[in-house]
């Protein structure tokens, strides 16, 4: 039969009968792994991640100090209930269904605003997972400032990608915030590097203004108290920066603008677009900037984008990007790993393709409890065997920790691409380093809808590398000077040890007083050590200055090409 079939050719018309469309909910339902919802352990951490990032975002947008409680209960084997309660603004009756029961719906996708979530997929994906593993809806209690709190149940109709709400009840008690109670089968709570506790610990590190509590299945409660009491500035919606904007965007914006002239359209739709820049553009293009933007042609937009690349603009505005900040990162790292040395760098905002501004924060901690304990041990003389500490990379995107898909992430790739030996760090993988990296942007280019790794866009890789090199150089200098200091101390010890004996021997020979000889010897030795030391410092300074010179040159050369300090 198979042979007979093979001889017959199937026509396009016959194949066309199988042609169907499917909804985005059906797509992700069949591809839960693309949402990070695969693997017993990873799935549970991803669920906690989706709910907590939504809570933190809502609090931030609303100007509230977040207080989030996560409770995980085991209802059976690989069967858990996740209960997340926040003190955020809550969701309205109109938005609650869309937020938790419809994919590709939310407040974040259309705006250029820094947020942990940005797709409108995550929480609805969790609802879908709950539904397909337990057959039950997700239970929600939501309370806003203007309406009575209510409880309701949500499922998704995958074919339509629409929420189905049931059992909506208005509640008597006062409540503002959101409570989500969802059950999942095929997931497992573990207390590992990739489990919910570690996820929340890292969330607390990058969000020192949040109070976060985890009640684990064994009822043990861990609370991460806020170490900063001020609400972080609310990120502002910003416009795309002309550097990085592409022709399609210019055309798309021009169709929907309310401006009557291309010149005013440019000023209203792009960041950092001043009169001077418009004048420069006007001189460089073959058409009149006074014409109607709705009639802008592709070739004309192409001319505009070409000039965007040539002229100077101020760097992207900084109020759209809210970094954690050097002090807070220092305090956070200090409190967790108590390192011997730490170097923290917050770079200035840059732009990657699409006109999205971003910035990079890097902290490198050395010694103390920095690094992660490995299974390997080393013998230390006269002590019990010690576990070896290796490099640990803590990745964050808009302050949300990234725990999975390490190898596929731009941050990991950037760390691996650095020539650490240049900074005196010989075997960086086996050095007790904690490398903390946070990428802040109005749009993080994740490699997948599961938001577990960042795509290695050229401009982002460049900034990551520059920040890592800067912090790495400082850390390397500390490590080198520490080694030099140890060497010096060793030398001094040896000199001291033998000075007495040599003095006695010389006394025997010269008959001069031993203590006088010893004093002279020590003077000579100390003088010599001091000279060596000065020499060392001079070398180091020279090296450092040379380094800085190179860097400055590279940096300013680059900067001038990219941005100017005055309004374009």
Binding positions for a second copy, 284-323, rule CB under 8 A:
298-299, 301-302, 319
Residue 248, CB half-sphere, CA atoms under 13 Å: how many?
2
Contact of 277 with 568, CB cutoff 8 Å = yes
Beta bridge partners, 434, equal 365, 392
Q: CA torsion angle for 131, 136, 137, 139 (degrees, to 10)? A: -130
Least distance CB 61 / a second copy (angstroms): 6
Q: Which is nearer to a second copy, 77 or 508 (CB)?
A: 77
Distance CA 30, CA 24 (A): 10
C-alpha 407: how far from chain center: 15
Site string for a second copy, 443-482 (x = CB under 8 A): x-xxxxxx--x-xxxx------------------------
Q: Is 494 in the site for a second copy (CB under 8 A)?
A: no
Report the residue number, 456 or 518, with the smaller CB distance to a second copy: 456
- Report if residue 94 touches a second copy, rule: CB under 8 A: yes
Give the binding-site size for a second copy (rule: CB under 8 A). Answer: 88
Token duo for residue 566:
């005055």
| Smallest distance from a second copy to CB 32, Å | 9
Q: Give min distance, CB of 496 to a second copy, in A.
A: 48
Instruction: Let me know if 17 is exposed, middle or buried by CB neighbors in 10 A (0-12, 13-18, 19+).
Output: exposed
Tell whether residue 4 is a contact of a second copy (CB under 8 A). no
Least distance from a second copy to the Cβ atom of residue 31, Å:
7
452 or 475: CB nearest a second copy: 452
Residue 106 or 316: the one with the smaller Cβ distance to a second copy is: 106
User: Quick one: which of 468, 461, 464 has its CA closest to 364?
Assistant: 468
In three-state form (DSSP H/G/I as H, E/B as E, the rest C), the secondary structure along 169-205 is: EECCCCCCEEEEEEEEECCCCCCCCCCHHHHHHHHHH
What x-and-dash track marks residues 15-54 binding a second copy by CB under 8 A?
xx-xxxxxxx-xx--xx-xx---xx---------------
Cβ atoms 189, 70 nearer than 8 A:
no
| 30 vs 519, beta carbon nearer a second copy | 30
- Find all residues with CB under 8 Å of 50, minimum gap 6, and list them: 117, 122, 123, 125, 126
Instruction: Considering the complex, state which of residue 89 and residue 568 has its C-beta at the smaller distance from a second copy.
Output: 89
Nearer to a second copy, 231 or 525 (CB): 231
The full DSSP string for 37-99 is --SHHHHHHHHHHHHHHHHHHHHHHHT---EEEEEEEEEETTEEEEEEEE-S----HHHHHHH
Contact segment (CB under 8 A) with a second copy among 195-203, 287-295, 389-397, 439-447 equals: 439-447
Select the residue interacting with a second copy from 13, 77, 174, 565 (CB under 8 A). Answer: 13
**Which residues within the stretch 103-122 sit at the binding site for a second copy (CB under 8 A)?**
104-107, 109-111, 119-120
Q: Considering only CA atoms, which of 344, 389, 374, 380 is closest in space to residue 362?
A: 344
- Give residues 141-200 in contact with a second copy (rule: CB under 8 A): 142, 144-147
Nearer to a second copy, 93 or 227 (CB): 93
The residue behind tokens 């967790």 is 336
Which element (helix H / strand E) includes 210? none
The answer to whether 358 and 460 are in contact (CB under 8 A) is yes
Cα 123 from Cα 82, distance rounded (Å): 12
CB of 44 to a second copy, least distance (A): 16
Q: Which of the residues 359 through 418 are near a second copy (CB under 8 A)? A: 405, 407-408
Q: Which two tokens stand for residue 498?
A: 């033998």
Shortest Cβ 305–a second copy spacing (Å):
11
Q: Give the bridge partners for 435, in sequence order.
A: 364, 393
Task: Provide, rounded to whole angstroms, the least separation between the CB of residue 91 and a second copy.
Answer: 6
Nearer to a second copy, 356 or 428 (CB): 356
- Please identify, using beta-carbon distances, which residue of 445 and 476 lies nearer to a second copy: 445
User: Which residues ranging from 223 to 282 are in contact with a second copy (CB under 8 A)?
Assistant: 231, 233-234, 246-248, 251
Q: Report whether 164 contacts 98 (CB < 8 A).
A: no
- Choice from 102, 254, 263, 434 touching a second copy (CB under 8 A): 102
Q: Which of residues 51-80 bind a second copy (CB under 8 A)?
A: 58, 61-64
Nearest approach in angstroms of CB 540 to a second copy is 33
């Amino acid at each position: 039969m198979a042979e007979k079939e093979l001889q017959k050719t199937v026509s396009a018309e016959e194949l066309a009968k199988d042609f169907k469309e499917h909804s985005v909910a059906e797509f992700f339902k069949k591809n839960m792994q693309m949402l990070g919802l695969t693997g017993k352990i990873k799935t549970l951490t991803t669920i906690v991640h989706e709910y907590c990032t939504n809570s933190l975002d809502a609090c931030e947008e609303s100007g509230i100090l977040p207080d989030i409680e996560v409770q995980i209960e085991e209802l059976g084997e690989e069967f858990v209930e996740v209960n997340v309660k926040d003190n955020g603004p809550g969701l309205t009756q109109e938005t609650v269904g869309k937020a938790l029961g419809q994919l590709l719906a939310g407040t974040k996708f259309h705006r250029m605003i820094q947020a942990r979530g940005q797709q409108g997929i995550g929480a609805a994906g969790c609802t879908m997972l709950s539904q397909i593993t337990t057959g039950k809806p997700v239970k929600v209690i939501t309370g806003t400032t203007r309406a009575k709190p209510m409880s309701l149940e949500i499922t998704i109709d995958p074919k339509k990608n629409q929420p189905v709400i049931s059992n909506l009840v208005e509640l008597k008690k006062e409540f503002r915030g959101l409570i989500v109670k969802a059950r999942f089968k095929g997931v497992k709570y573990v207390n590992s590097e990739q489990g919910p506790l570690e996820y929340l610990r890292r969330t607390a590190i990058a969000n020192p203004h949040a109070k976060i509590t985890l009640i684990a299945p064994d009822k043990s409660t861990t609370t991460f108290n806020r170490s900063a009491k001020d609400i972080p500035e609310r990120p502002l919606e910003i416009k795309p920066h002309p550097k990085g904007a592409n022709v399609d965007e210019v055309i798309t914006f021009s169709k929907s603008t309310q401006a009557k002239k291309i010149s005013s359209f440019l000023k209203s739709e792009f960041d950092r677009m001043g009169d001077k820049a418009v004048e420069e553009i006007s001189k460089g293009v073959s058409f009149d900037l006074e014409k109607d933007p709705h009639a802008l042609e592709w070739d004309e937009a192409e001319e505009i984008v070409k000039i965007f690349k040539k002229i100077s603009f101020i760097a992207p505005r900084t109020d759209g990007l809210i970094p954690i900040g050097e002090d807070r990162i220092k305090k956070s790292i200090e409190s967790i790993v108590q390192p011997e040395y730490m170097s923290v760098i917050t770079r200035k905002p840059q732009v990657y393709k699409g006109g999205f501004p971003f910035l990079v924060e890097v902290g490198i901690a050395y010694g103390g409890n920095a690094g992660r304990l490995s299974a390997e041990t080393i013998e230390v003389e006269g002590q019990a065997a010690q576990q070896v500490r290796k490099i640990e990379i803590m990745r964050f995107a808009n302050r949300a920790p990234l725990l999975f898909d390490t190898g596929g992430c731009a941050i990991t790739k950037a760390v691996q691409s650095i020539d650490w030996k240049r900074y005196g760090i010989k075997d960086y993988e086996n050095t007790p380093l904690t490398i903390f990296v946070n990428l802040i942007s109005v749009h993080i280019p994740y490699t997948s809808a599961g938001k577990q790794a960042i795509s290695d866009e050229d401009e982002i890789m460049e900034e990551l590398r520059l920040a890592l090199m800067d912090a790495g150089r400082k850390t390397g200098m500390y490590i080198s000077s520490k080694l030099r200091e140890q060497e010096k101390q060793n030398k001094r010890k040896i000199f001291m040890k033998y000075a007495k004996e040599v003095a006695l021997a010389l006394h025997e020979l010269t008959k001069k007083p031993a203590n006088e000889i010893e004093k002279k010897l020590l003077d000579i030795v100390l003088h010599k050590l001091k000279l060596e030391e000065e020499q060392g410092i001079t070398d180091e300074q020279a090296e450092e200055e040379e380094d800085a010179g190179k860097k400055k040159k590279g940096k300013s050369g680059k900067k001038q090409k990219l941005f100017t300090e005055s309004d374009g």
